[in-house]
């Protein structure tokens, strides 16, 4: 067969096409892997873009990460904090932070009404609020609690400075990211969206380890998820607000949910 014959040219084109097809396959596979991680990368980039003040911290082990979840709340049931219910829970300060709240809502896929309810309950919209446990700012984020959890999962373990948590935009971003982690990383197996939200609210207050220990007498997320899925939304709410032996969290869940419904109603025509 001549090198210049039409038959040879056709044969050569077929061989080259096959080679190019296989050569491009790893690139396509690599792009698919990148696409799967694009959301996580965008979330990390959003923190980078804020030019936050960060300091290095050692990478946490699995056991220390489990401990981090406990740091948001107390290790034993307590009745020290009592939340008073507000008949007309409307705060002009909510409007001041609404653009930041909406941005965080879109970034982390958390209802803006829920973010407002948590801020209202945690700090009454005071960006300089500091609790006796050193929870800081609008969403009462703890440097060694929610902030550390977010930095481990979304910022490669780099620790966030305490002073940065007083910045309203950053505090809202970190607090909302922590709610996102609770719902999507730890409670993603909860079938009901409402139950998942209720449990995330409770865990935000007392810590997920404490919640599992006192609500379900387990430290296994699989066992906890299985038991919670055996309950309907009303039963989960009843347990969280009536039988959970941590009074602070019982009152906290009830108040946040009441404010959540209020803000859902009033934000309908605002957003």
User: What pLDDT, in 10s, does the model give residues 205-235?
Assistant: 999 999 999 999 999 999 999 999 999 999 9
* Pair 53, 138 in one domain: yes
* Pair 82, 30 in one domain: no
* Residues 252, 83: Cα–Cα separation, whole Å: 7
* Residues 128, 117: Cα–Cα separation, whole Å: 18
Residue range 166-195, pLDDT digits in tens: 999 999 999 999 999 999 999 999 999 999
Residue range 103-126, pLDDT digits in tens: 999 999 999 999 999 999 999 999
- Asked whether 158 and 56 are in contact (CB, 8 A), the reply is yes
Distances in Å between the Cα of 55 and the Cα atoms of 4, 130, 151 are: 67, 21, 11
* Pair 158, 239 in one domain: yes
* Pair 174, 218 in one domain: yes
* Pair 55, 81 in one domain: yes
Structural domain range at position 23: 1-36
Owner of token pair 């409007």: 95
Say what the pLDDT of residue 270 is: 55
* Pair 60, 97 in one domain: yes
């Amino acid at each position: 067969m001549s090198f210049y014959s039409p038959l040879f040219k056709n044969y050569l084109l077929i061989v080259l096409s096959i080679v190019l097809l296989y050569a491009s396959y790893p690139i396509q596979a690599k792009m698919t892997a990148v696409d799967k991680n694009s959301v996580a990368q965008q979330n990390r980039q959003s923190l980078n873009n804020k030019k936050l003040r960060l300091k290095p911290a050692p990478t946490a082990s699995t056991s220390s990460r489990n401990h981090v979840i406990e740091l948001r709340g107390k290790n034993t049931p307590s009745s020290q904090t009592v939340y008073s219910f507000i008949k007309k829970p409307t705060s002009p300060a909510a409007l001041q932070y609404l653009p930041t709240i909406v941005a965080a809502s879109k970034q982390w896929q958390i209802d803006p009404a829920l973010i407002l309810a948590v801020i209202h309950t945690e700090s009454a919209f005071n960006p300089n609020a500091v609790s006796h446990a050193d929870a800081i700012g609008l969403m009462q984020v703890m440097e060694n609690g929610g902030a550390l959890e977010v930095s481990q999962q979304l910022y490669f373990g780099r620790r966030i400075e305490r002073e940065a948590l007083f910045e309203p935009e950053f505090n809202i971003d970190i607090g909302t990211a922590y709610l996102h982690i609770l719902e999507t990383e730890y409670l993603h197996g909860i079938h009901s969206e409402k139950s998942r939200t209720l449990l995330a609210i409770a865990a935000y207050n007392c810590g997920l380890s404490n919640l599992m220990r006192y609500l379900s007498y387990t430290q296994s997320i699989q066992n906890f998820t299985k038991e919670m899925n055996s309950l309907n939304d009303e039963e989960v709410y009843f347990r969280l607000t009536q039988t959970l032996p941590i009074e602070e969290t019982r009152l906290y869940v009830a108040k946040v949910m009441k404010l959540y419904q209020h803000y859902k109603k009033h934000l309908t025509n605002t957003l």
